[in-house]
Amino acid sequence: MAEVFFRSGLLKIGNWEGTLYLFANEYHVPLLPPVAAAWFGTFTELFFPVLLALGLATRLAALWLSIFNAIAVVSFWHVLSGNEAALMSHVYWGLLLMVTLLHGPGALSADRFVVPRLAGRPLP
């Protein structure tokens, strides 16, 4: 899941002028001006997938990426509504993120080692 979002962030930062064009003309992010939406989107796609992959603040990362995914569907609905495969990709990503959000990180996650330390408990 992290790879999908991270690659998208790399594409955005790799062609910043194109990204700004898309946010100004194609993506209709509610409540944000296009430049702010571009920065916010790119940051989200580069920062939170790293947390998700490391298993660090896993539930927070999954929640944030779920919200981001929902905003992407709303912002790009005029294209997604006519393309069932693209829309189903977003549904699939949302379901995968929901599993992580509800069940938490796995046994090899950084959270498994960090959270007990922060709570003053011995490692499991």
Q: Is the pLDDT of residue 124 over 80?
A: no
Does 109 map to a domain?
A: yes
Q: For residue 48, give its domain range.
A: 2-118
At residue 4, the pLDDT reads: 96
Q: Report the number of distinct structural domains present in the chain.
A: 1
Find where tokens 């790119």 sit: 42
Q: Distance (Å, rounded) from C-alpha 90 to C-alpha 103?
A: 20
Average pLDDT score over residue span 104-113: 88
Beta strands in the chain (DSSP E): none
Q: What is the pLDDT of residues 25-79, one digit of tens each?
A: 999 898 999 999 999 999 999 999 999 999 999 999 999 999 999 999 998 888 7
Average pLDDT score over residue span 2-29: 96
Does 92 map to a domain?
A: yes
Does 123 map to a domain?
A: no
Residue among 27, 53, 57 at smallest CA distance from 40: 27
Radius of gyration of the chain (CA): 16
